[in-house]
Amino acid sequence: MSIMQSLRQFASSDNPRDLVSLGYEIETNWKGGDKEFNTDEFLENYDLTDDEIVSYLGLDWNQYWVRAINNSNSEGLLGAFQLDRETVLENALEREMDDEDSPYWEGSEKDRVHIDGFYRQSDGSVSGWEFITLKEDNTEGGVSYGRAIALARRFYDELPSEFSIEEDCSCHVHVQIQGISQHVGSYRLYMLIVDELSNIWASDDIPDSIANRIRLCSSYYSPRSNHTDKYNTVRVHPQGTWEFRLWGNTQDVDEVEFCLDSTISAFQKAYKRYLSPIDDIIVERVANSGIEFSVLASRAMKKLVSIETILSEVSPQ
């Protein structure tokens, strides 16, 4: 079957769930860690040598403010001391591993967490782990809708009490049409996906926590002019999927199910419109409005209304 045949089959299917591979990531915070960086205490030691600073950081490298050293967005703290991020991290970890009395060797509840069916990796944006769905054979990759829901149920049942769901970042959904190894689409498809999403976030059926998250997205994960931008409501991911980042804050399996259903629905409807031989009206109306699509979509997110509603306000028909 050709790519176009696969796309058309997905767009017209009565059971689109059966024609996609899904993946999702849920990020956690570790309650056992000290998430806050004590700036005042650290700055009181401004006259320390570089070696002494590295030693100081190495004492509790597992804490949030030290893990942030490995985050490319955390140059401010290092810049104040004119330190190289990679060198600081390397030296801190080396010091920990050379010290037999170091907490590094004792392990922690965070280090021992394991939930079958998920790949676990560290993430600089959270104090806990990021859990990513696995296939039946525990290899990475997309899973079926049914397995995605089953894994979500197990995740929320078995997540240790030392962890909480990260409210700002949690639940990124990846979707890929089966049989297609790379994303197929353009910026126009991206516009149509976000437009379909706007009808969902304007719905009365959306859970309160997710609605609050979408409002938050309007200033952080808002739609951008570059649909490959990492911090985007939905983006083309380098691995070949479309990644829906706006959901977040999913506190139970019912909310994961809502996110997965909404993702598939928006994706299918957008592709149906994308494959239509008739130019899509909303694309033309956005162009005629004189306002960037990202601005229109961000307004819709903030108000939890559809892009169509925003367009009607700025250019009455």
Signed CA dihedral, 207, 15, 236, 127: sign only = positive
pLDDT (0 to 100) of residue 46: 40
Q: By C-alpha distance, which of 161, 148, 127 is closest to 255?
A: 148
Could you read off the pLDDT tens digit of each residue along the chain, which spans 317 residues?
788 899 999 999 999 999 999 999 998 887 755 444 343 444 344 444 444 444 545 433 334 344 444 443 444 444 444 455 455 555 555 554 555 544 443 445 666 677 888 888 766 667 778 889 988 888 888 899 999 999 999 999 988 887 888 877 788 999 999 888 888 888 889 999 999 999 999 999 999 989 988 888 887 788 888 888 888 899 998 888 999 988 988 889 999 999 999 999 999 999 999 998 776 777 888 888 889 999 999 999 999 999 999 998 876 55
Neighbour-count burial of 263, counting CB atoms closer than 10 A to its CB (0-12 exposed, 13-18 middle, 19+ buried): buried
Judge contact between 24 and 288, C-beta under 8 A: no
Judge contact between 7 and 180, C-beta under 8 A: yes
pLDDT (0 to 100) of residue 124: 62
**Contacts with 150 (C-beta within 8 Å, 6 or more apart), sequence order:** none
pLDDT (0 to 100) of residue 296: 92
Strand partners of residue 23: 174
